[in-house]
Amino acid sequence: MAALIAENFRFLSLFFKSKDVMIFNGLVALGTVGSEELFSVVAFNCPCSPARNYIYGLAAIGVPALALFLIGVIWNNHTWNLVAECHKRGVKNFSAAATFLLFGSIMGRAAVAPVTWSVISLLRGEAYICALSEFVRPSSLDKFPAEYGPEVLARFPCKDVPANLTKFRDEVTRRLRYESQLFGWLLIGIVAVLVFLTKCLKNCCSPLSYRQEAYWAQYRSNEDKLFRRTAEVHSRILAAKNVKQFFGFVALDKEEKELVQEFPVEGVQPSPQWNAITGVYIYRENKGFPLYSRLHKWAKGVEGNGPSPEGNEMLFLAS
């Protein structure tokens, strides 16, 4: 039981593993702020009609947040690694903690933009005021004329009200803006606490030293850059070779001719090799030596993805 608990706690080093993640999240948040400001200026237009206000106000906050969340899920490499893993190998090699925290990593990264959108929308208050103005109880307003009902209250966000209701409109707007901003600040506080707790758990439960974790992050970044660069060159040379075989010649510029001469490509990698280096990777050690990626593991000739009696494998999910 103690070993199982220790293994599961190792998965609690999930979010914000590197400065690159923090910078990325910051850029996403700033881009979302700018988008929300533009949306509020250009697109937001409260209908000021009973029943429509509520739907429109919630849609103005929720629909863009949902779209941003889905975009975040699509852009996350873990999403497609998980799809490839399930398609090729299933998730039998992952414990419940690993699977849960993998989904948590995807959801956490994808939530940056929608949470930012929701916070900015609440702090501005326009959508909240539009959605809830008609639900303000007239009895809560001192000396509010009895002849007016929700129809008039629904027009408060548009300032299209009789002159004798101006002070009531200002009071309702001030009250709803207060509630909206209060919810916005509470959301900020909740997110900040969650981020703080996650960082604490990450540093307490990581099986790696700070320097090795930094090295692993550098290795992943360099491997990805070199792999993409090499794949681009390899595919270009292979394409040139096949085009030449079809036409009898190939029109190459000077740089491409140098690439073809410097890097002869004889063939393509078989599908089993591509499958071996594709999918979710959890940090492992084999006989005390770290394996930093699926490509590293393939290059070392280590078979399988599950624990083996010969290898001491520490499970640690890469962000």
pLDDT value at residue 170: 86
User: Which residues neighbour 47 within 8 Å (Cβ) at sequence distance 6 or greater?
Assistant: 53, 56
Residue 286 has pLDDT above 80, yes or no: yes
Residue-level pLDDT at 142 = 77
pLDDT for the residue numbered 81: 78
Q: Are strands 282-286 and 289-291 parallel, antiparallel or unpaired?
A: antiparallel
Query: Tokens 């999930």 identify what position?
Result: 14
Q: How many CB atoms lie within 10 A of CB 80?
A: 14
Query: What is the pLDDT, as a whole number, of residue 104?
Result: 79
**CA distances from residue 230 to 110, 173, 197, 212, 243 in whole angstroms, order as listed:** 29, 59, 40, 26, 20
pLDDT category of residue 27 using cuts at 50, 70 and 90: low
- Give the pLDDT score at 36: 56
pTM of the model: 0.69
Query: In whole numbers, what is the pLDDT of the chain averaged over residues?
Result: 79
Task: For residue 284, list its beta bridge partners.
Answer: 291
pLDDT score for 80: 82
pLDDT tens, residue by residue, 48-65: 888 899 999 999 899 989
Asked if pLDDT for residue 209 goes beyond 60, the answer is yes
Contacts 24+ apart (CB under 8 A), 235-241: 237/263, 237/264, 237/265, 238/265, 238/268, 241/265
CA pair distance 213, 216, nearest whole angstrom: 5
Cα distances (Å, whole numbers) of residue 22 to 19, 82, 189: 5, 22, 18
